[in-house]
Chain A
C-alpha cells in the first residue's frame, strides 16, 4: 500500500504524473508542489502567443475543476527545500515537513546564466510566466533587442519580437543557429527565414560585455562589434534543476540519473521531465527539454511509482514555431548520416529524413504537420527503406506506416 505521493514541481511533468496516478486508480494522497504561485499552465506559449500578446494567459494544463475533483492537493507556492531519501521526508520553505512513500522530482530546468557580469536592468531570461510577463512589458517600450543564443527559445522570441515591430539581432556563438536542436542544415534554413522576416543574425560571436551602467544600452561582441540594445534576452540553454536531488545524494549528470522507468538510485524517488537524464533510444541519457517527452516520462514514472514499471527509452520529439513556420522533429537528427529530403506533394512543406544503415532514425518536418504524423511513426518503427522510394512524393507515407505496422 502506498500511503502518500509527493510530486515536486507543478509544471508539465508534475501535473501529467498526477493525472496518470488518478487515471491508474491510485486513490491515496497526492501533493503537487509548485513554486510559481499559479495553477499548472502550458509553458511553450510563453515565447510565442503569450509573449506576442495574442493570448492573455497560457492555457491551463488541466480542465478547470480537475484538481479539486481529483482530490490533488496543489501547493502552488511553497518550494521544497530538502528531501530525505532514506525516510521520504520533504521539507518546505514554510510549514511542517511531510513524509511521502513515493516522491517524483519534476523540477524542470533553469535558464543558463550569462557568464559575464555585472547584472543589469534590461537583461532577461525566459523560463516561467513571470519571466514572460516582464519580458513582454519590456518589449512593449523597447525598440532594439539583442537575443544572446540562437537556440529554439532565442529563435522563437526573435520571431515574436519582429511581430511586435522591434529591431532584433540574434548573436550565436557557434557557426550556425539551432545546430544543437535541429542540426546545422535546418539551422541554416531557419536563419534565412528569420532574415526574411527582418531578424538580423550574427554567428561565430559571443557577447563579451554588457554596456550600461545600470540599464543595458548595448552589448559588445567578441569580434569588437557593438550592438545597441534596449533589452537583452539571454537564451543560451537550460540546466536541469537538480539541486534537491544532489543534496539528497542522488547521482546527477545532464540531469538526475534515472533508468527508463524513471527510477533513481533511491527506491522511493523518481524523476521525470527536464530535470531527469532519461535514457534515449540510440543516444545518450539526457534532459530532452521537450513537451512531448516530458509528458511521456511523467506517465511512465507515475506508473512506476505504483509498481507497474515499463521501461520506455525516449525517442526525442519536439516542435517549435520559427519565422512563421511549424517545425517538428523526431528521433536522432543532429548526428551525421544520410539525409533524404522529401517535398510534400502540395509543394508547401518538406520533411528531411535521416537514414542510418538503411533505417529511418530521425526526421524534421518544416510546414508539414500532416506528413510529420506519419513520418514520426516511421522513425518510431525504425523502418528499413530504400532512400529513393522515401524521397519520392508518390510513395504514400500512409502506406509506409502500414508496412511498418506489419513489421516491414
Chain B
C-alpha cells in the first residue's frame, strides 16, 4: 500500500471532483465531506469523470450521462455497463491521501 498525498480537504468543495494525473488517472470527489476516489475514465468512452455532475453519492458522466455510484463503483444508469475501479482514500488531519496503485473493482 502506497498512499500519496493529493490535496487538503478544503481543496475540493462538496459536490466537486479533482482529476489526479497518473498512469491511469483517478478522480477524487467530496461527497458531503466524505472523500471518495474512483477511476477517472468513464467505462463507456474516453471521458474524464472528475468534472462530472455529482448528485448525492452518484457521479454523472458529462458526455452521455451514464451514472456511477461513487461508494461502490457500480453503474446506476446506462449507457455504461462496466463498473468503476475504486481507490482507497485516507484522511490524515486535513490531508487527503489516495493509494493510486490499489485501484480495484468492488466484488
Contact = CB atoms under 8 A, between A and B. Distances in A.
A292 B65 contact: yes
Contact of B62 (A16, A295, A369, A398): A369
Interface stretch (A58-66, A91-99, A235-243): A58-66
Contact of B63 (A59, A319, A374): A319
Contacts of A373: 52-53, 60, 62
A125 interface: no
A63 B62 contact: no
Given A373-B60, A373-B62, A59 B78 contact: no
A291 B81 contact: no
A42 interface: yes
Interface in A24-53: 42
A370 interface: yes
Contacts of A369: 47, 51, 62-63
B60 A319 contact: no
20 contacts: A19-B78, A59-B79, A60-B81, A61-B79, A61-B81, A63-B81, A63-B82, A291-B79, A292-B64, A295-B78, A319-B63, A326-B63, A369-B47, A369-B62, A369-B63, A372-B62, A373-B53, A373-B60, A374-B53, A398-B15
Interface residues of B, number: 15
Main SS class of interface, B: loop
Contacts of B82: 63
A319 B62 contact: no
B45 to A, nearest CB: 8
Nearest to B75: A63
Interface string B34-74: 00000000001001000111000000101111000000000
Contacts of B44: 59
B81 A59 contact: yes
B15 A16 contact: no
Given A60-B81, A291-B79, 12 more contacts: A16-B78, A19-B78, A61-B79, A291-B64, A292-B65, A295-B79, A326-B63, A369-B51, A370-B51, A370-B62, A373-B53, A398-B15
